[in-house]
Structure 1
Amino acid sequence: MRALLLGLFAPLLLGAAQPRLVTDVSETTIEIAYSFTGAELLLFGAILYPPRHKPRPGTEVVVVVKGPPETVVLREKAKVGGIWINHATARFRDAPTFYSVASSRPVDAFVPFPVAWRHGLGVANLPLHQEGSSDLAERQRFREGFLNLKLDSQLYSEHPDAVSIREDVLYRALIPLPPRVPTGRFTAETFLVRNGQVIAAATRHIVIDKTGLERLVAGAAVRRPFLYGALAVTLSLLLGLAAALLFGRRR
């Protein structure tokens, strides 16, 4: 009977013996003005251990910041009969507009591939919902192309050694936000890893939004696209006419 009870309650006892994360961010709302040149998001927290459990060395922390999802269509051109045409297309559904991972060490140094893939730890391990060709080589080529485009634009990034842990209890991470960071609701997920397994996780939310003139222009483009386009064309024509008159007088 005792062995049976131990077997039934073992998962609960093991769960109670695991540490948990308490995490927070320096700013829950980040406003983007016309002069925005990028920022750094500070995420910090503590590892809370159960009573009578001392902090254990060898614990690693991984922080993943994701932007709102989007659908991206990639087209590959090929030369047919001397003319370049769209040869193949791939559609990536619900891909994060922004993805950044920071860790206490390079992720692949302490997280096995199946665990990293399951939790999306690392750009190479990011699950992407890809629609299009069933050819594996072509799908892989499009996936690599998509990730390279995001990496080149600094919308996807990895920052090994960007998480510092003090006395196996306190941790902090700095996540750089590029000038072209998209707006919307972001999630900051923190994972506690030990012996290659995720033993605890915590999530915080951040809102990035435009402010001032940037917000007014962006809102007008969404709510009244025709009027926004007409004003943009009119303003371009007026500026071109003014430049022509100015340079004409100087001659």
Structure 2
Amino acid sequence: MLAAMLPAAADAQRDPILVPEVSQHEVRVRQGFTGTELLLFGAILDPQGTRAARGYDVVVVLKGPTEPIRLREKSKVGGVWINAASTDFRSAPSFFAVASSRPIAEIVDDKTAAIYEFGTNFIQLSPTGEIDPAEQARFTAGLVDLKERQGLYKSDDRGVSISEQVLYQARIALPSNVTTGTYTAETFAVSNGRVVSSAVAEVEVAKVGFERFVEVFSRAQAFWYGLMAIGLSIGMGWMAGRLFALI
């Protein structure tokens, strides 16, 4: 029994170690924020801390905080567009980006890609309620398409570069409309269609300055914040009316 277990143990010892790093562990969102670019980089080493003995593919998955989303479908009735069918997703990522050293289809099979969410077509969105599988697929594709057009979901099958089988790097752009919270950057080393190593780094996206004050106040004093917002809207409308009356 011992002799049979030794080859497996030896294979495990040969699996590489990923040492990931991120150019910014904190992204500060303030007035005039136009987005930023994250550099995700690191090294692929063998257990002894030296260069890995063979080449690997690398896949990087960057995900933002999850949020519940209700997606509504528009339907044209009598020449008027109205809300028709809808579905709810419990935990859709607010941001999702995948970068890989080669096209995912050349690295792993669909089953492995689905397990590790290697692509926007493999995102685990957790729909709620009873829904027909075909309709669920249609709503899922619609949500992904909407997020892609907003710049919040993206994939780059040549987005990871690897140097000398050791150093890797990927650049992922965060748009100005990103949600604040903790983002996870997962890096995977893949060999012969199998994920052999993974590592996680975190990035905190937070509002600062006046934007931070407004966000905290709106959560802590939702009632007064709502009254102030209504009062401000009425005041701005009244001022605009007076200005137009004088013209």
- Fold conserved between structures, TM > 0.5: yes
Structure 2 residue identity aligned to 1:124: N
Q: Output the aligned Cα RMSD.
A: 2.2
133-142 or 51-60, which deviates more: 51-60
Whether 1:156 and 2:176 are equivalent positions in the alignment is no
Deviations 1:33-52 (A, max 9, x none): 01100000111110111349
Letter of the structure 1 residue corresponding to residue 169 of structure 2: R
The 10-residue stretch of structure 1 (239-248 or 87-96) with the greater mean CA deviation from structure 2? 239-248
Task: Write the mapping of 1:32-181 to structure 2, written as runs, cut at 5 A.
Answer: 32-51=29-48, 55-56=52-53, 58-78=55-75, 86-181=83-178
- Residue matched to 1:190: 187
Contact kept? 2:188, 2:195, Cα under 8 Å: yes
1:27 aligns with 2:15: no
Is the contact between residue 90 and residue 133 of structure 1 (CA under 8 Å) also seen in structure 2? no
8 Å contact kept, 1:89–1:132:
no
Code of the residue aligned with 1:154 in structure 2: it is: G
Q: Report if aligned partners of 2:62, 2:97 keep a CA contact under 8 Å in 1.
A: yes
User: 1:27 and 1:240, CA in 2 relative to 1: closer, same or farther beyond 3 A?
Assistant: same
TM-score by length of 2: 0.91
Structure 2: gaps (5+ residues): none
* CA distance 1:36–1:206, change in 2 (3 Å): same
Instruction: Give CA deviations for 1:108-165 in whole Å, capped at 9, x if unaligned.
Output: 2222111111111100111221123432211111111111111111111112212111
SS in 1 for 2:128: strand
In the TM superposition, what is the alpha-carbon distance from 1:99 to its structure 2 partner? 0.6
Kept after mapping to 1: 8 A contact 2:18/2:198: yes
Matched, 1:231 2:222: no
Change (3 A) 1:102 1:5: same
Count, aligned residues: 247
Identity in percent: 43
Instruction: Answer yes or no: is the 8 Å Cα contact 2:51–2:165 preserved in 1.
Output: no
Q: Secondary structure at the match of 1:36?
A: coil
Counterpart pick for 1:12 among 9, 12, 25: 9
Q: TM-score, normalised by structure 1?
A: 0.90
* Secondary structure at 1:89 match in 2: strand
Distance in structure 2 (CA, Å) of the matches to 1:112 and 1:119: 11
1:185 and 1:208 in contact (8 A); partners too: yes
Whole-angstrom CA distance in 1 between matches of 2:102 and 2:204: 28
**Structure 1's 239 and 5: CA in aligned 2 closer, same or farther, altered over 3 A?**
same
Aligned counterparts of 1:36 and 1:192: Cα–Cα separation in 2? 33
State whether residues 101 and 121 of structure 1, in contact with CA within 8 Å, keep that contact through their aligned partners in structure 2.
yes
Q: 1:15 to 1:28 in 2, by over 3 A?
A: same
Q: Distance in 2 between matches of 1:64 and 1:246?
A: 52
